[in-house]
């Protein structure tokens, strides 16, 4: 099944998309895909939740300095800052995963440290949940 953002638009009713990311930001295109998908969803009035898990917690790591790629944290931070308005955007990074990678205190502004219970709640409350990785 292919998820189209237009499939979620629903006559002005508030919808929510939860995106779970498990890959690091420079391994493949998943991080860029989640950012593009979130932008498209927000343009349609859809709320977006990000749950960064495993190496996906590096997506929100501050002070990234890749030499040959766009800085994913800045792109990710931009979509989070836009989330202060409706439609809103929330982001949680798994505490076990950030602790294991030593990045718990280096998350970009707007990323909350949480756990799998948060993901369970978001999944139950969301209209769609997708996993990228």
Residue 5 falls within a domain, yes or no? no
pLDDT, tens digit, for every residue of 95-133?
Answer: 999 999 998 888 888 899 999 999 999 999 999 999 998
Question: Would you mind telling me the total number of residues written for the chain in this entry?
Answer: 133
What global pTM score does this model have?
A: 0.85
Residue 6 falls within a domain, yes or no? no
DSSP 4-24: -GGGT--TT---EEEEEE-S-
DSSP code, position 71: -
If one counts the domains in the chain, the total is 1
Give the domain CATH number at 33: 3.40.1260.10
Residue 34 falls within a domain, yes or no? yes
Could you list the residue range(s) of the whole structural domain that residue 105 is in? Answer: 14-132
């Amino acid at each position: 099944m292919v998820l189209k953002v237009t499939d979620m638009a629903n006559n002005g009713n508030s919808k929510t998309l939860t995106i779970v990311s498990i890959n690091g930001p420079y391994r493949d295109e998943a991080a860029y895909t989640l950012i593009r998908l979130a932008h498209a969803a927000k343009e349609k009035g859809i709320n977006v939740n990000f749950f960064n898990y495993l190496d996906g917690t590096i997506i929100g790591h501050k002070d990234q300095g890749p030499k040959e790629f766009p800085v994913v944290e800045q792109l990710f931070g931009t979509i989070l800052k836009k989330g202060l308005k409706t439609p809103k955007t929330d982001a949680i990074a798994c505490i076990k995963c950030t602790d294991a990678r030593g990045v718990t205190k280096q998350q970009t502004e707007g990323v909350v440290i949480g756990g799998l219970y948060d993901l369970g709640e978001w999944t139950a409350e969301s209209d769609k949940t997708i996993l990228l990785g």
